[in-house]
Structure 1
Amino acid sequence: MSDTDTEDPSVFYDMEEGETAVTQGRTISEADVTNFAGVSGDFNHLHTDEERMSESPFGERIAHGMLVMSAATGLLWQQRTPEEREAVVAFYGIDDLRFRQPVYLGDTIRVETEVLETREKEDGPGNGTVQNRVEIKNQRDQTVISCTMTSLMR
């Protein structure tokens, strides 16, 4: 370990497989859906046409899946300690992404995570990658989105 490492300890080496966390909740609002449609350009009727969706199997508009994913990454960021935030080098990827249930306007989501694997890196930025099982759940405790997310950490 170098002198720099002792002055600036790594969060990566403190993470343990099996470690779990749960974020606070966040309600998906009309403004979220409207703003996300504008930013993304996704004006699909599933999200924007109340009349048409009233006749659909969903019965009403649903939130964009990627809006929910984006809100989940924000919840994950907010739950990190200042040290953990500083230790994040980059978001490394998402695997096995599945949209399991619709998220309706007014639903409140939270994120549950479990560290599946830590893998040390020999070169490049960061000390290694941390792979997490992620489940985004609604207020009824239904999993609405599941995936595996990987972060590059120092």
Structure 2
Amino acid sequence: MLRDIENYKVYFDTLEVGERFVSEGRTVTERDIIAFAGLSGDFNALHIDAEYAATTQHGQRIAHGLLVLSIASGLSTQMPVMKFMSSTIVGLANLECRWLKPTFIGDTIHVVLEVTEKVPSRSKPDRGTLVLSRKAVNQRGETVMDSTWKLILKKSDAA
């Protein structure tokens, strides 16, 4: 079957629990960290002061956790599955996040996205909540961030 990719959409009922997707990688740069510090106002020495950071347990500067979360979000939205889902997303219902390891300047991270649960809405039958595990994984195969995102999506029969 040939799909009309221009009008292809991913709905709540299109995806199955257990489906996994992997993003492209993105290297975290010193420029990213400095720009994020300026944008967020978080000038913690652990992120921007190389001399200080060298004296810490990490031995070097680390990326802001929220920067890693932001990069993971951007990598996720660039995945085809998320692009096809963009017009069916009603909203973000919840986000939980844990940072397991530091991300250093020069680390390349990618996202592993997995559908872990689907919860139909009881009050609004035209939608449901899609629970997604989003892990940021570095080039060494280490999970540096583990998050759960709950997205409210339209059902296909509601279109």
TM-score, reference length from structure 2? 0.85
In the alignment, residue 120 of structure 2 is paired with which amino acid?
E
1:136 alignment partner in structure 2: 136
Q: Does 1:84 align with 2:85?
A: yes
1:93 alignment partner in structure 2: 94
Tell me, in whole angstroms, the C-alpha distance in 2 between the residues paired with 1:126 and 1:143.
35
Q: Is the CA contact (8 Å cut-off) linking 2:134 and 2:149 kept in structure 1?
A: yes
Gaps in structure 1 of 5+ consecutive residues: 1-7
1:5 alignment partner in structure 2: none
| 1:35-58 per-position Cα deviation (integer Å, ceiling 9, x unaligned) | 111111110011011111112111
1:147: how far off?
1.8
Q: Is the CA contact (8 Å cut-off) linking 1:112 and 1:134 kept in structure 2?
A: yes
Distance verdict in 2 for CA 1:53–1:10, change over 3 Å: closer
Q: Is the CA contact (8 Å cut-off) linking 2:9 and 2:88 kept in structure 1?
A: no
Q: Aligned residue pairs: how many?
A: 147
Gaps in structure 2 of 5+ consecutive residues: 1-7, 155-159
Distance verdict in 2 for CA 1:59–1:17, change over 3 Å: same
In the alignment, residue 93 of structure 2 is paired with which amino acid?
Y
Judging by fraction of residues, say which structure has more helix: 1
Q: Is the CA contact (8 Å cut-off) linking 1:126 and 1:152 kept in structure 2?
A: no
SS at match of 1:36: helix
Alignment root-mean-square deviation, CA: 2.1
SS at match of 1:86: coil
Distance verdict in 2 for CA 1:9–1:37, change over 3 Å: closer
1:137: how far off?
0.4
Q: Percent identity between the aligned chains?
A: 38
SS at match of 1:135: strand
Q: Is the CA contact (8 Å cut-off) linking 2:17 and 2:115 kept in structure 1?
A: yes
Distance verdict in 2 for CA 1:9–1:45, change over 3 Å: closer
Q: Does 1:146 align with 2:146?
A: yes
Tell me, in whole angstroms, the C-alpha distance in 2 between the residues paired with 1:77 and 1:40.
21
TM-score, reference length from structure 1? 0.87
